[in-house]
Amino acid sequence: MDPLQEIHLELFTDYFQFYIQDEQVEGDLGEDWTEEAVDRLLATTTGIIGVGTMRNMDAPVSLMLFASEPVLAARDDIGQVNECDLEITSEKAVIAGCTDYFPDAQRITLPNGIYRARIYYSNLDKISEDGLDGEDYYEVHLWLTNEKQATTVLIARNHSREG
């Protein structure tokens, strides 16, 4: 299934993270970055998703909007996959690094509702020794569900691809 819309960005992932959030939501994820959230590379609160990254430099990020739940991608470069909810009430989502200037950040228009977000973390093992360069990239798939679900780790970083 082809996405309805795609956005490809290079985000400054300062503090090893970037955000996707409802445009009107105020607040931050400071207290939501628990030890468990850091381990799964994902923190959430109402209207905000914080995606953890392996570097705190520029990293490629793609966001793809689907009409319904897409098939789970199966690629050798995928190191982790998480799913969580994102509630949109302002008809706009913002995609930004956590220290980006919010008014200038990329936006996507979305109908209000509850979206399921599937985050693919790829090439996590291809980071330079100094942690400044790498081939890691992050792909977020969104689809409207209007049904709240638990945050889930579909593929963990320490998974085995064998039998």
> Any idea of the CA torsion for 85, 25, 28, 35, to the nearest 10 degrees?
-10
pLDDT at 28: 82
CATH fold, domain 5-155, is Substrate Binding Domain Of DNAk; Chain A, domain 1 (2.60.34)
pLDDT in tens, 96-140: 998 999 999 999 999 999 999 999 999 999 999 888 899 999 999
pLDDT in tens, 48-106: 999 999 999 999 999 999 999 999 999 999 999 999 999 999 999 999 998 999 999 99
> Residue 161 — pLDDT band, cuts 50, 70, 90?
very low
Q: Which two tokens stand for residue 129?
A: 């020794």
More confident residue, 16 or 159: 16
* 92-97/106-109 β-pairing: antiparallel
Asked if residue 163 has pLDDT above 80, the reply is no
More confident residue, 26 or 52: 52
Instruction: Tell me which amino acid residue 19 is.
Output: Y
